Structure 1
Amino acid sequence: MFKTIIFTVLGISMFIGTNYANSFKNETVTDYKVANHTLWNTLLAKHVDSEGNVDYASFVADKADLEIYLELLNKNTPDDNWSKNEKLAYYINLYNAATVKLILDNYPLKSIKDINSPWDKKWVLIGGKKFSLGSIEHKILRKMDEPRIHFAINCASYSCPKLINTAFLPSTMEEQLEAATVDFINDTTRNKITEDKVQLSNIFKWYKSDFTDNGSLIDYLNKYATSRASNDSKISYLKYDWGLNQAR
């Protein structure tokens, strides 16, 4: 068993490409003692470009690897000894990986909204218990007092924040959340901010309370926006594009 564990862990760190799933098909997931995000990072680098476009057609071939990663997370759940950043990395990566799997399970399709109740069905395993994507977002991530998670999790749609092509890691969590927030707020395809006119993503409408604990919505935007809005700027919301986040 000791040799098997060593062989398995080495295999994870050295994996490149789709041979991973086949080479470990006889191993049990319970041999893993520490969940890590190496495999998810590899899959993101392979199938997601720098603009957040996902090549779902090629990702289908690596679906087995994605399922292995999700099962690793299922078997290695956060406990009270985990730091906040370790928990954030776990749940952000879980949400994003599960969303990709949901798309792959139903691919080809034009929008995640073509799937019946995509955020309400309980199917994502955490410690053997089934959760919905919605419950991971609203009952876990949003309760962690970190509004920037809204720019890190991806709903497989064009108007969502980009799916970045690296995994979120505890050691780089602050830098990654900050970068994702700056990128989203200043992305003119998602938000248009000038001194007297502010057109925002509906994310700021749906989750306004998450951004206004310590001030107004304009206050929050001005922390990150390259073009600052005045306090009396008129706010409106842009149409949300639910088209699948793949290259057009």
Structure 2
Amino acid sequence: MKTSTLAALVLAAGTLTAVAVVGPGLNPVPTPTLAVPATGALVDHSAYDRLLKKHVNAQGLVDYKGFKADEAIFNQYLTMLSKNPPAANWSKADQMAYWINAYNAYTIRLILNHYPVESIKDIGSKIKIPFVTTPWAAKFFSIGGENMSLDNIEHGILRKKFDDPRIHFTLVCASISCPRLRNEAYTAAQLEKQLDDQGRDFLNNPAKNKISPSDAQLSKYFDWYKGDWQKNGQSVVKWVNRYSTAKISDNTKITYLDYNWNLNKQ
């Protein structure tokens, strides 16, 4: 995708920052050219973990007013993320946990920047930058000195570098039809368990997927990212059966549910 770069002023973690912009949403996004250090101390996600436990309930709904009240602590965590990108000596699990937490945390930051809003998609209409019409394409934060967007993290890093479709069960775009936002941070030690737990939770939640052997009404994720689910000899059917208690087959009628973009607020 050809990148269009323009200057813009965006509120990021409480600071006005000059940024660049790219788009659009589900198209391939170039991998950011981060100046990745060869070695570096691991990031401590415990402050973010405490905020999630305090402001996210068991259903994954967010108390955005509570996050707003704890904004100073939240911004300190985001500043730490910004200054400490994953280093080459970090394990794959440490890097994945970092980027998943970063995506979800900066999504919350984006909502707080424009709060109150009824949907993250409403923010797109507020972005007064030519050629940028979605909030996911706006580069409103920086990591390792590189201006970045949510698209950069999802498509340019997580999908491209780690090739694990389970990330789709973890990235939360602040909407009702998204997977549940865990009320805990992702960590390398728990990552495999957390990824599988997210898969089970997502596939067995009738608000996200309605599954029976004869008829499966699946999340749009399985349509939007069909190529991801089909990699390495896999398929949508195999991934559904990996986590769903109700099993399907190649003969199951598969349709896709409408996506509810309403804010995932308490």
Q: Could you tell me which amino acid in structure 2 is paired with residue 161 of structure 1? A: P
- Which residue is equivalent to 1:216? 235
Task: Give the structure with the larger helix fraction.
Answer: 1
- Taking the aligned partners of 1:96 and 1:168, their CA distance within structure 2 comes to 10
- Taking the aligned partners of 1:205 and 1:64, their CA distance within structure 2 comes to 39
- Which residue is equivalent to 2:88? 80
Q: Could you tell me which amino acid in structure 2 is paired with residue 119 of structure 1? A: W
Q: Could you tell me which amino acid in structure 2 is paired with residue 154 of structure 1? A: V
Query: Does the aligned pair in 2 maintain the 1:182–1:225 contact within 8 Å?
Result: yes
Q: What is the SS of the residue equivalent to 1:245?
A: coil
Q: What is the SS of the residue equivalent to 2:189?
A: helix
- Taking the aligned partners of 1:36 and 1:90, their CA distance within structure 2 comes to 9
- Taking the aligned partners of 1:211 and 1:131, their CA distance within structure 2 comes to 26
Larger displacement relative to structure 2 (209-218 or 109-118) = 209-218
Q: Deviations over 1:63-103 (max 9, x none)?
A: 12111111101111112111110001100000000000100
**Does residue 145 of structure 1 match 2:133?**
no
Larger displacement relative to structure 2 (153-162 or 65-74) = 65-74
**Does residue 234 of structure 1 match 2:253?**
yes
Higher Rg of the two aligned structures: 1
Indicate which of 65, 68, 75 corresponds to 1:60.
Answer: 68
After superposition, the Cα gap between the structure-2 partners of 1:146 and 1:139, relative to the gap in structure 1 and judged at 3 Å, is same
Q: Provide the aligned C-alpha RMSD in A.
A: 1.2
- Which residue is equivalent to 1:243? 262
Displaced runs of 4 or more, over 4 A: none
TM-score (norm 2): 0.79
Indicate which of 137, 149, 166 corresponds to 1:132.
Answer: 149
Query: Does the aligned pair in 2 maintain the 1:43–1:66 contact within 8 Å?
Result: yes
Query: Does the aligned pair in 1 maintain the 2:97–2:191 contact within 8 Å?
Result: yes
Runs (5+) with no aligned partner, structure 1: 1-31
Q: CA deviation at 1:187?
A: 0.7
Indicate which of 26, 32, 42 corresponds to 2:50.
Answer: 42
How many residues get paired? 216
Alignment of 1:1-248 (within 5 A): 34-116=42-124, 117-143=134-160, 144-213=162-231, 214-247=233-266
Q: CA deviation at 1:212?
A: 1.1
Q: Could you tell me which amino acid in structure 2 is paired with residue 218 of structure 1? A: V
Query: Does the aligned pair in 1 maintain the 2:42–2:90 contact within 8 Å?
Result: no
Q: CA deviation at 1:234?
A: 1.1
Q: Deviations over 1:179-221 (max 9, x none)?
A: 0011001111000111111101101111111111123211221
- Taking the aligned partners of 2:191 and 2:173, their CA distance within structure 1 comes to 20
| Identity across the alignment (%) | 47
Runs (5+) with no aligned partner, structure 2: 1-39, 125-133
Larger displacement relative to structure 2 (92-101 or 124-133) = 124-133
- Taking the aligned partners of 2:207 and 2:217, their CA distance within structure 1 comes to 10
- Taking the aligned partners of 1:34 and 1:82, their CA distance within structure 2 comes to 7
- Taking the aligned partners of 1:219 and 1:58, their CA distance within structure 2 comes to 39
